[in-house]
Amino acid sequence: MQALLSVAPGGPETLELTALPDPVPGKGEILVAVKAAGVNFPDTLMIQDLYQIKPPRPFAPGGEIAGEVTAIGEGVSGFEIGDRVLALTGHGGFATHLAIKAATAVKFPNTMPFEDAACFIFTYGTSYHALKDRAAIQSGETLLILGAAGGVGTAAIELAKTKGARVIAAVSTPEKADFCRQIGADDTIVYTRDMDKAGQKAFSAEIKALAGGEGVDIVYDAVGGSYAEPALRSTAWNGRYLVVGFPAGIPKIPLNLPLLKGCQIVGVFWGASVFRDPAGHAKNISELFGLYAKGKIKPQISKTFSLAQAAQALTHLADRSALGKIVVTMDDG
């Protein structure tokens, strides 16, 4: 097998494509010939030791995979050789083969390409949990998404439209704004990449002008940093501010704002919710497969990289260039 290994903390340039013996599935495990691995923001942090989970080295990044079962370990039932499975693996996905716990594998429909399956659960699972379970989004509400052209952001656009919400997509370039409109965003805001005080004021004014009335009902914040406060200042009475991610840094928020706005700041920790509410998670995944089958959602894959180029995929994501999802495919697997 081949794997792109992190051998020392650092950026994508530190990753090394390495030949390794094929793994043997242990008790309760299945061996998956990985066909595609979704690229997610935590992958860029994990190789630098900047993520809360720090796997022992050497390890391959890649927390989300889709592939075919090629061997079955002792004590596993419910899987057959050749089954198409997707899984959240935490790491290890930038490889041609990976042994995973059978309990974490989800079979997916034959009609779903491996690339879509590898870009499905993380983003749609997060955004569905955020909008449905945490914000209780209602038809006719206005949703502002920060970082709307990114992985979880594009999923949030599509899902909000299935719920009948109005979407304002906020992004850092006109190209990203066009991309969001193509996916279904009703309005877009192009914010500055250097969000200083003047930028914050302008951003807040633009949100309020577009939202009308008292402001937006829901903010989906997948960016954080200095983008957070102007968005919170533009939230309506009874609004919900969803804390999703911090690629721009962890913001500090004056607590008088939620008081004055009569709004809620709501934490979204999808990974923990999966363990705390497995039945709710299973229901959400089943509903998401249903939306996919009806053509209501589809991973917005803008670029595909080979395993040998997977370091470039991480750079593409980390430098804020990616549109929607990017995926690594193991054609040589």
Chain residues in the site for ligand NAP (CB under 6 A): 40-42, 122, 126, 147, 149-153, 171-172, 176, 222-223, 244-248, 268-271, 317, 320, 322
CB of 50 to ligand NAP, least distance (A): 11
| Contact between 118 and 89 (Cβ < 8 Å) | no
User: Is 333 within 8 Å of 311 (Cβ atoms)?
Assistant: no
| C-alpha angle 220-222-226 in degrees, rounded to nearest 5 | 100
Structure tokens, 322:
């990616």
Q: How far is the CB of 325 from ligand NAP (least distance, A)?
A: 7
CB of 72 to ligand NAP, least distance (A): 30
Q: Which is nearer to ligand NAP, 99 or 169 (CB)?
A: 169
Non-local (6+) Cβ contacts of 174 within 8 A are 190
User: Which is nearer to ligand NAP, 216 or 243 (by Cβ)?
Assistant: 243
What is the C-alpha to C-alpha distance for residues 11 and 16, in angstroms, rounded to an integer? Answer: 11
Query: Which residue, 29 or 221, has its beta carbon nearer to ligand NAP?
Result: 221
Q: Give bridge partners of residue 44 from the DSSP assignment.
A: none
Q: Between residues 203 and 292, which has the closer beta carbon with respect to ligand NAP?
A: 203
CA distance linking residue 203 with residue 180, whole number of Å: 18
Among residues 91, 129, 61, which one has the least CA distance to residue 269?
Answer: 129
Residue closest to ligand NAP, measured at CB: 150
Nearest in space to 322 (alpha carbons), one of 36, 43, 4: 43
Q: What is the CA radius of gyration of the chain?
A: 20
CB of 307 to ligand NAP, least distance (A): 20
Distance CA 79, CA 84 (A): 10
- Minimum Å gap between C-beta 195 and ligand NAP is 9
CB of 112 to ligand NAP, least distance (A): 20
Closer to ligand NAP by Cβ: residue 76 or 145: 145
Neighbouring-strand partners of residue 301:
325
If the CB atoms of residues 134 and 233 are measured against ligand NAP, the closer one turns out to be 134
CB nearer to ligand NAP: give 69 or 131: 131
How near is the Cβ of 62 to ligand NAP at its closest, in Å?
13
Angle at 191 between CA 260 and CA 183, to 5 degrees: 100
